[in-house]
Amino acid sequence: MLTLRDLNRATLARQHLLERYKGDVTDVVHRLAGLQAQEPRPPYLGVWSRLADFDRAGLHAALHAGTVLRATMWRATLHLVTAADFAAFRPLLAPV
């Protein structure tokens, strides 16, 4: 059985908040299956806190290229998701 601390650590690890992910913006956003992005400004801090060697220009470029999107997803709030995840999840969430 997991203790409350074990569950806490597992949750933080899954969110890449214990150790930063070594990959690019699109990879980390895909692994998270969406990152809360309700804040009016682009979610640079949320990605920076999870990604080793974060480059602001990399997120900016991914947003402008359309490989990463800010879109209404879970709980009708804005999330940062990959274009592929948006195409897969959005039709399922639309009726809700």
- Beta-bridged to residue 36, according to DSSP, are 79
User: What are 92's two structure tokens?
Assistant: 């399922």
Enclosing domain of residue 43: 4-93
- Output the pTM of the full model: 0.79
3-state secondary structure of 94: coil
**pLDDT at residue number 13:** 94
The per-residue pLDDT for range 46-89, each reduced to its tens digit, is 899 999 999 999 999 999 999 999 988 887 888 999 999 999 99
Number of structural domains (the chain) is 1
Q: CB-hemisphere CA count at 13 Å for 64?
A: 6
